[in-house]
Every structure is written in C-alpha cells, then in structure tokens.
C-alpha cells in the first residue's frame, strides 16, 4: 500500500481532441495520476526529449504532425523509454492498426469510446507492474 507521501504516477497523455483530453485529464487526476499533456505528435516528441520518462504513456493514434505510431516508434528508440508502458487509445479499431501498434512496442490498445473504469484499471495494472 502506498504511503500518503508517495509521488503520484506520471502519465504522458498524447491527445489532440480537446474534449477527450479534458475528460482523460479529469479521469486520470481523479485516479491520482499527474498528467502531462501533449496535444500532437510533435509536442509529444519534444516532451520526450526534455522530460524524464513517465510511469506510463497514453497515446492517441490519429494526431496532427506525427501519427501515434510514429511517436510510439520514437519513444521506444529513446534511452530510458523502452520499458515505459504505452497504451494506444484511438477511434480506429481496425485489426491492422492494432497489430501494427503492438508489433511496434505498444503494451495495450483501447478503442474510443472507452469505458472510464476499464481505462483506469488497465493503466493501474501497468503502473503497479512497473513499481
């Protein structure tokens, strides 16, 4: 069990849709995560270059500038990011995209619209495995 002084797990959330980003931020903060938000693929890369690896990444597939799959490949190549759990979150549930994401190093894949409890449960599983 965590002590009250233990730091909140950090999640890098890469989501371009404002309403979805607001909902995710609300859900994640309520579940005791510290949320770092990137609004597009380019900003996600910039954050990856300047921040310490977070506890988990929540990554949309369809993003401006760089796709989530491109960001996934970039993150996996960065030093220290290889073991960070990455959960893809997208409106596109095509088998081809799911297969590509998993082959490129994603740990899990959720399709929008998502169940909030299922999302936080999946993230919690990855964060507690890493701890």
Give residue-wise pLDDT tens across range 3-37. 455 689 999 999 999 999 999 999 999 999 999 99
> What's the CATH fold of domain 10-130?
Rossmann fold (3.40.50)
Residue with tokens 């220290």, as numbered in its chain: 80
CA dihedral 78, 82, 88, 94 (to 10 degrees): 100
Average pLDDT in the chain: 92
Region 29-53: mean pLDDT is: 97
Nearest residue to 69 (alpha-carbon basis) of 95, 85, 90: 90
Distances, alpha carbon 113 to alpha carbons 54, 57, 60, 67, 129, in Å: 25, 18, 12, 19, 26
At residue 2, the pLDDT reads: 47
Whether the per-residue pLDDT at 91 is higher than 90: the answer is: no
At residue 4, the pLDDT reads: 54
This model's pTM is above 0.85: yes
Angle, CA of 98, 100 and 105, to the nearest 5°: 100
Region 105-121: mean pLDDT is: 93
- The full set of domain ranges for the chain reads 10-130
Whether the per-residue pLDDT at 1 is higher than 50: the answer is: no
At residue 96, the pLDDT reads: 86
Residue-wise pLDDT for 65-86, tens only, equals 999 999 999 999 999 999 999 9
Strand 34-38 to strand 56-60: parallel, antiparallel, or no bridges (unpaired)? Answer: unpaired
């Amino acid at each position: 069990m965590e002590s009250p002084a233990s730091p909140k797990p950090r999640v890098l959330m890469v989501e371009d849709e404002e309403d979805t980003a607001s909902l995710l931020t609300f859900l994640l903060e309520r579940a005791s995560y510290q949320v770092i938000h990137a609004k597009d693929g380019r900003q996600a890369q910039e954050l990856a270059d300047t921040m310490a690896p977070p506890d988990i990444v929540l990554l949309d597939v369809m993003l401006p500038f760089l796709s989530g799959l491109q960001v996934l490949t970039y993150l996996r190549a960065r030093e220290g990011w290889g073991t960070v759990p990455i959960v893809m979150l997208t409106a596109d549930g095509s088998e081809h995209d799911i297969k590509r994401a998993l082959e490129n190093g994603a740990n899990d894949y959720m399709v929008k619209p998502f169940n909030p409890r299922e999302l936080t449960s999946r993230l919690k599983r990855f964060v507690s495995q890493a701890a």
